[in-house]
Structure formats: C-alpha cells, structure tokens
C-alpha cells in the first residue's frame, strides 16, 4: 500500500525550509555586517595596529664631534662597533620560551660575573650571571617595549654575525651598528679628554629635563674631561628614520630619513708632542726615585693656553668607551694614587719654596723691602715666645733648609738661594722689622689666583686653601700666630695649592702681571672645518704689583737658574727662570727624623720674552732641585728642540731646596 505524507507533515517541512532560509540569510547578513564593520568602520584602526607592528619611527644618533690637538692631529674619533640589543616586545610572552632565548644569548655572549653588559659603575652587581644578568639589564634600561635595550657593547664582529645567523632562534635579539669613541693615545690624553658613557641614575633627571634637548636613557654622554665640559658642542642633533621591520624586529626597509646633524669638533690647545715629551720625562724621573705620582703642566703665559697637562698615574679611557668591566673599575678605584683623578687640577699640596715668589712680589709692592733690604741668615731664627719674650729657652726655632746659613741676603739672592730666614721675616716680621703680616700676605697671594679655582673648563678643579685666623680658630680652636705666617711665607703650614694654580701664578709673574683663565680649547669647528666659536684669551685680573717689582722677582728667578738652586736647568740655548720647592707634608718620619717631602719646580722661558711656563711636581720624599728641576730641563729641551747632552742624568743635581 503506497504511503503518502499528510498535510501536517508537509506543513512542517515547509516551515523547516523557511527557517533554514531565514537562518542562512541571517548568517549571511551577519557576515556581511561583520565584514563591513571590519573593513569599513574599523579599517583605519586595524590599519594603524598593523602598521604599528611593521613600521617604526626611530631616532638616529648624530655622529659625535671629533677632537684635535692644536696642530690638527686627531685625539678622538668615532669607529663602528657592534652592540647586541633586545627589543622587549619581540621576546616570547611565555616564561619558558623567553627564558630559553635569554639563556641562549647569555651563553653566546659568555656573560660571566664581571660581564653584565653595560657595566660602567661599581654599583652594578657583579653577582648577576646568565639570563638573570640580561633580565637585570632589561629591567633597568627598558624605556619602551619597542625600544632596543643594549645588552653588550663592542661585541666581536664574528660573534655579531653568529648571533645574526641565529635570529630565528633568538626572537627579539638584534645587532646594532653604533659609533663608538676611540682614543688613539689612551692614558697619554685621558685626563684632557675624559670619556663617554651611559647616563647614570644620578644624572638622569639633569639630562632628561633639559629644555629643547632630546636625551634618552639610551644615550651616551661625556663623563669626564672635555667630553663632558663641551657635551653640548660635541653631541650634535639626532635625526629620525621611518623603517619597516619583520616579526623578529629586524629592519627590512627604510621608508624615509631625516638625517642627523653631526656634532661640532674641538681643536684643543694641547701640543701632542709636548704632552708626550712631558709624560716621558716625568715618568722617567719618577721611576728613578721610586715615586708613585707626579704632575706636569705647561702653559703659554701670554694667552693662558694649556700646552701640556700630565697627571700620573693615568688610566686608559678606551676601557670606559667600550664598557668597562666591574673588575677593571674596581682595580682603578682601589689604586691609592687615584689614577681617575686629574691631580693637575684636583690635587692640593703645600707648595714649598715655590711660593716665595709671591710674598717677594707683595713685599716689594708694599715697600716692606726694596732691592737693598738685606737679612742675615745664620741657618736658624729664634722667634721669642709672646708670653715669655725675654726667655730664650722658650723661643721657637725656625730653620733654613741649609744649617750653614746664607749670610746677608737681599731679595734677588734670597730667591736664588731659596733662603727661608729671609722669607720668614719678610712675611711675618722679626724684632724691629715689621714684615707683610697675614692680611697683606693673603691679599696678594689671592690676587695671584690662590685660594680659588682658576676656572679652567674641566670638571673637578679644587680651590686650594689660603687660611686665616678665623679658619684656624674654627678648625683648630687656636689663634693665628706669627709662626703660622712664617710657615705660610715659605709655602708650608696650612696653605695648599694645585699645580695649575701655581703655574697660573708663575705665568702672571712671567708676563708682567696678567692672570689669565687657563684655556683648553682653541676653537669649535663645524663638520666642514669652519670656525664656529673661537676662544680668545680671557683675563681674570691684573695683579696689583707694578711691573718693575715683578721684574725684580723675575731677576731673582733667573738667578736661581744661573747661580742658585735650579742650576741644572741653566741651558745654554735658551734663558730659563724658575723657582724650586721642597714641601714637607704629614707622614712617617725618615731615619733622620724628617717629614716626607714633595718636589716642586716652576719656571718660564725664554726669560726675556716668555713663551712657555711650566710646573713639575713629584710626590714623595724628594727635593725639588734634585728631582723636579732635571725633569723640567728635559721638557724644555724637547720644546725648544735642544739635544740632550751625552750621559745626561735626569736626576743628578746639586742639593738645594
């Protein structure tokens, strides 16, 4: 019997068909609406997000300016260097894959306890190793998820290529080619130049808050020397680059570039040949007497330009430019002679008898003495006790450097022979001879630049110390005495100077009374070598001493060379004037009960028309005449092109102050 569908079944089938048709239409409508929403309504937003994944607007660092010596020889240049960096956003999101990438990278870089990437400060922990070291760097230096973070600088080229080959296994790890500072002469010029390094946490606010500048924490800035003093001139202006990157954050195309503007260059006052000759002579002189520290500074006394500046021991600034290890930094920091410190401007020492030049000038100007004023030196002076003036047993003994005395001494002979007895009395008076007194003494030595920074364009300069009664009462709870003035008059006691201050005061005597601000830069140059900013001689003040009185002092300094304590620098080819000094300082006594001493010598030449002034300082247990004078003689021979006599001994010299 044939089966037939009932009308009810047919109706239900029709409803199903209608429902299916409606459902299909609804789904199709929904799909069309979604496509319209994605492609029309939200297309711009999604395009922006897609572009954000592909395109980057990155800063392009400006080439830092080059630095030259006064004859155009390159002292600092930029060289290409490979840096391994990480783009945090491109690292795997999951902990295990991320840890695997960092461990692989750490193994490739050989990161050990002393190699924490951009370690430049002792505060960076030397305990971090492997992936934990990289994580620490990322945590400290990440500015933006898409901004590369340097993990290790100055990477070997072959290692950089190896990491680049493994980029599929190391997502987020990139190789950047960056400009690195190179200092061809290393320790020879490090105290002049300084170095560049990462912005420290202490400096961050200073740099990031500068109006109109575009510093970021990734930038490298000048840390010491002219690199930091002239940071604004050297750094240039950053450019911008619009690039396309792949999924591994590797650049695959450059869309547009706004090129950076290179930094300006510097032409220093430094004479590289004189710098090298000065260091060689100083190092040899120190070696022969087993000294561990010394300074030489040379200046053009007519302009204030620094021609040479050596501070030993020194350091290699290339270590810092490349990213110094913790071990190297710890070794430099632990050195008791502080090689990172420029002792030419920061070291403060008693000047010894080199200081006698200045009370001599003051006493002549104040008419306390004239060229005929004589003082008898028997080798010892007894200063009566103020409370028991008639009791010789309570008198204070002040000795000359020679126990035999110098006999009758006027100012020229006293300078030549460095007679202590003469300058005790000239400074503090004796019996019926009034002397300068502390107030006038201090007024004049301050006029010559002591007790204040010279203003040289290098950071870290010390002011020295020119004390008075108030200073002594605050620091020692005692009043100032005549004996204190005696000691000050021969460069002992509490007075402290820097080698640069002593040189600047000497230069003022040599040039007729102009105290110049010491200059280290002659010109700022643009990238084409054109002068952007010249540096002219800058006068601090005219010292309040008439030239005829300075001429008498110069005559005494010349006599010190021709017939006095500085006889060893009496060169036949050029006339030299100078003053020796042997300065006692607190320390262990020697076998004869004497305090340790520093050796000093300050000089200028030619005597008739000076073109160079210099100071030599050798630390530890030596006389100026025996040690500092021969070093100066060797430097002056080099400067004036005078051959060294056969068999010349750099330290052989007659005894003297």
Statement to judge: residues 400 and 541 lie in one domain: yes
Q: Which of 14-18, 67-71, 261-265, 287-291 has the lowest mean pLDDT?
A: 14-18
The candidate with the shortest Cα–Cα distance to 178, out of 263, 319, 266, 84, is 84
Residue 423 has pLDDT above 50, yes or no: yes
Residues 6+ apart with CB under 8 A from 620: 291, 292, 293, 596, 597, 598
pLDDT level of residue 273 (50, 70, 90 thresholds):
very high
pLDDT value of position 471: 96
Residue 138 has pLDDT above 80, yes or no: yes
Average pLDDT, the chain: 87
CA–CA distance, 190 with 181 (Å, rounded to integer): 12
Strand, helix or coil at 562? Answer: helix
> Which residue, chain included where needed, has tokens 């680049």?
164
pLDDT value of position 4: 58
DSSP type of residue 30: H
DSSP type of residue 563: T
Strand, helix or coil at 85? Answer: strand
Residue 111 has pLDDT above 50, yes or no: yes
The candidate with the shortest Cα–Cα distance to 166, out of 105, 116, 103, 213, is 105
User: Mind listing the pLDDT tens digit for each residue in 43-76?
Assistant: 666 555 555 566 666 677 788 999 999 999 999 9
* 447 touches 596 (CB < 8 A): no
* CATH code: domain of residue 612: 3.40.710.10
Whether the link from the prior residue into 606 is cis, omega within 30° of 0, is yes
The candidate with the shortest Cα–Cα distance to 540, out of 568, 572, 500, 571, is 500
CA–CA distance, 524 with 265 (Å, rounded to integer): 6
Residue 140 has pLDDT above 50, yes or no: yes
> What is the arithmetic mean of pLDDT over 638-643?
94
Q: Among 268, 297, 328, give the residue marking a domain's end.
A: 268
Confirm whether 43 is domain-assigned.
Answer: no
Q: Among 209, 233, 268, give the residue marking a domain's end.
A: 268
Strand, helix or coil at 595? Answer: coil
Statement to judge: residues 264 and 278 lie in one domain: no
Statement to judge: residues 422 and 382 lie in one domain: yes
Report which of residues 582 and 647 the model is more confident about: 582
> What is the arithmetic mean of pLDDT over 602-620?
96
pLDDT value of position 47: 57
pLDDT value of position 118: 40
Confirm whether 69 is domain-assigned.
Answer: yes
Domain count, the chain: 2
Confirm whether 40 is domain-assigned.
Answer: no
Residues 6+ apart with CB under 8 A from 489: 355, 356, 359, 423, 424, 426, 427, 428, 436, 441
- 78-116 burial, b if ≥16 CB within 10 A, otherwise e? beebbbbbbbbebbeeeeeebbebbebbbebbebeebbb
Confirm whether 117 is domain-assigned.
Answer: yes
pLDDT level of residue 428 (50, 70, 90 thresholds):
very high
Residues 6+ apart with CB under 8 A from 513: 542, 543, 545, 547, 550
Statement to judge: residues 237 and 299 lie in one domain: no
Report which of residues 22 and 335 the model is more confident about: 335
Taking every pair of Cα atoms in the chain, the longest distance, rounded to a whole number of angstroms, is 162
DSSP type of residue 619: -
The token pair that represents 370 in the structure block = 């004239």
Report which of residues 105 and 394 the model is more confident about: 105
Confirm whether 94 is domain-assigned.
Answer: yes
User: In the chain, what percentage of residues exceed pLDDT 70?
Assistant: 89
> What is the arithmetic mean of pLDDT over 588-600?
82
> What is the arithmetic mean of pLDDT over 229-245?
82
User: Mind listing the pLDDT tens digit for each residue in 457-514?
Assistant: 999 999 999 999 999 999 999 999 999 999 999 999 999 999 999 999 999 999 999 9
pLDDT value of position 41: 65
Statement to judge: residues 232 and 303 lie in one domain: no
Statement to judge: residues 281 and 424 lie in one domain: yes
> What is the arithmetic mean of pLDDT over 264-286?
96
- The torsion angles phi and psi of 268, rounded to 5 degrees, stand at -80, 165
* CATH code: domain of residue 184: 3.90.1310.10
pLDDT value of position 8: 67
Confirm whether 333 is domain-assigned.
Answer: no
pLDDT level of residue 652 (50, 70, 90 thresholds):
very low
β partners of residue 79: 180
pLDDT level of residue 362 (50, 70, 90 thresholds):
very high
Statement to judge: residues 183 and 285 lie in one domain: no
User: In the chain, what percentage of residues exceed pLDDT 90?
Assistant: 54
> Which residue, chain included where needed, has tokens 């300069």?
461
Statement to judge: residues 64 and 123 lie in one domain: yes
Residue 124 has pLDDT above 50, yes or no: no
> What is the arithmetic mean of pLDDT over 556-574?
95
Residue 376 has pLDDT above 60, yes or no: yes
pLDDT value of position 57: 66
Confirm whether 323 is domain-assigned.
Answer: no
Statement to judge: residues 233 and 347 lie in one domain: no
> What is the arithmetic mean of pLDDT over 622-627?
86
pLDDT value of position 311: 97
Q: For residue 597, what is the enclosing H or E element?
A: strand 597-605
Statement to judge: residues 71 and 121 lie in one domain: yes
The token pair that represents 314 in the structure block = 């020194």
Statement to judge: residues 247 and 297 lie in one domain: no
Confirm whether 100 is domain-assigned.
Answer: yes
pLDDT level of residue 214 (50, 70, 90 thresholds):
confident
For 412, the domain range is 274-315+341-640
Q: Among 210, 241, 268, give the residue marking a domain's end.
A: 268
pLDDT value of position 127: 46
Whether the link from the prior residue into 657 is cis, omega within 30° of 0, is no
- The torsion angles phi and psi of 119, rounded to 5 degrees, stand at -65, 120
Statement to judge: residues 233 and 282 lie in one domain: no
pLDDT level of residue 266 (50, 70, 90 thresholds):
very high
CA–CA distance, 77 with 74 (Å, rounded to integer): 7
pLDDT value of position 644: 84
pLDDT value of position 120: 33
Residue 117 has pLDDT above 60, yes or no: no
- The torsion angles phi and psi of 461, rounded to 5 degrees, stand at -75, 135
pLDDT value of position 212: 73
| Strand 67-68 to 265-268 pairing | parallel
Whether the link from the prior residue into 306 is cis, omega within 30° of 0, is no
Give whole-number Cα distances, 200 to 204, 216, 218, 224, 653, in Å.
6, 11, 10, 13, 49
CA–CA distance, 396 with 38 (Å, rounded to integer): 101
pLDDT value of position 454: 97
């Amino acid at each position: 019997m044939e089966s037939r569908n009932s009308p009810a079944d047919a109706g239900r089938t029709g409803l199903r068909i209608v429902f299916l048709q409606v459902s299909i239409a609804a789904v199709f409508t929904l799909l069309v609406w979604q496509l319209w929403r994605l492609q029309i309504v939200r297309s711009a937003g999604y395009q922006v997000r897609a572009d954000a994944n592909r395109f980057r607007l990155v800063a392009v660092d400006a080439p830092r300016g080059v630095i030259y010596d006064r004859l155009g020889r390159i002292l600092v240049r930029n060289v290409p260097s490979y840096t391994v960096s990480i783009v945090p956003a491109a690292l795997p999101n999951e902990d295990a894959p991320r840890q695997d990438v960092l461990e692989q990278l750490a193994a490739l870089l050989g990161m050990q306890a002393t190699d924490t990437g951009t370690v430049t400060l002792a505060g960076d922990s030397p305990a971090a190793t492997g992936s934990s070291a990289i994580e620490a760097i990322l945590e400290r230096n990440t500015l933006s998820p898409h901004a590369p973070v340097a993990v290790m600088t100055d990477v070997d080229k072959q290692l950089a290529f190896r990491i680049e080959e493994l980029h599929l296994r190391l997502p987020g790890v990139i190789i950047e080619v960056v400009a690195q500072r190179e200092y061809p002469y290393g320790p020879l010029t490090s105290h002049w130049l300084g170095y560049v390094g990462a912005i420290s946490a202490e400096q961050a606010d200073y740099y990031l808050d500068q109006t109109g500048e575009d510093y970021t924490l990734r930038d490298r800035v000048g840390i010491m020397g002219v690199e930091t003093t002239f940071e604004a001139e050297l750094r240039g202006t950053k450019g911008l680059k619009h690039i396309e990157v792949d999924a591994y954050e590797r650049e695959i195309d450059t869309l547009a570039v706004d090129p950076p503007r290179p930094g300006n260059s510097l032409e220093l006052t430094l004479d590289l040949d004189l710098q090298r000759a000065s260091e060689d002579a100083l190092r040899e002189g120190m070696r022969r007497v087993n000294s561990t520290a010394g300074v030489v500074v040379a200046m053009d006394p007519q302009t204030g330009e620094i021609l040479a500046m050596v501070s030993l021991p020194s350091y290699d600034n290339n270590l810092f430019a490349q990213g110094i290890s913790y071990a190297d930094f710890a070794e430099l920091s632990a050195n008791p002679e502080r090689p990172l410190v420029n002792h030419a401007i920061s070291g403060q020492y008693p000047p010894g008898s080199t200081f006698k030049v200045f009370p001599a000038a003051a006493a002549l100007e104040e008419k306390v003495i004239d060229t005929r004023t004589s003082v008898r030196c028997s080798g010892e002076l007894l200063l009566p006790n103020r409370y028991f003036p008639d009791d010789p047993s309570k008198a204070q003994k002040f000795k000359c450097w020679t126990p035999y005395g110098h006999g009758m001494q006027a100012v020229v002979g006293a300078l030549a022979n460095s007679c202590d007895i003469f300058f005790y009395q000239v400074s503090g008076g004796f019996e019926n001879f009034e002397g300068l007194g502390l107030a006038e003494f201090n007024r004049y030595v301050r006029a010559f630049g002591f007790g204040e920074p010279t203003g040289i364009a290098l950071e870290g300069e010390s002011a020295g110390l020119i004390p008075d009664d108030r200073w002594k009462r605050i620091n020692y709870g005692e009043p100032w005495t005549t004996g204190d003035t005696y000691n000050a008059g021969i460069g002992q006691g509490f007075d402290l100077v820097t080698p640069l201050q002593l040189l600047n005061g000497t230069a003022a005597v040599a040039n007729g009374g102009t105290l110049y601000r010491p200059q280290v830069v002659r010109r700022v140059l643009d990238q084409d070598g054109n002068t952007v900013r010249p540096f002219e001689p800058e006068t601090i003040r005219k010292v309040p001493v008439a030239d005829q009185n300075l001429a008498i002092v110069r005559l005494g300094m010349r006599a010190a060379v021709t017939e006095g304590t500085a006889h060893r620098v009496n060169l036949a080819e050029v006339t030299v004037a100078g003053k020796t000094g042997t300065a006692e300082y607190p320390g262990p006594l020697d076998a004869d009960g004497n305090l340790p001493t520093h050796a000093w010598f300050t000089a200028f030449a030619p005597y008739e028309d000076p073109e160079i002034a210099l100071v030599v300082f050798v630390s530890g247990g030596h006389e100026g005449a025996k040690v500092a004078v021969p070093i100066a003689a060797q430097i002056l021979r080099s400067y004036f092109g005078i051959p060294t006599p056969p068999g010349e001994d750099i330290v052989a010299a007659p005894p003297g102050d």
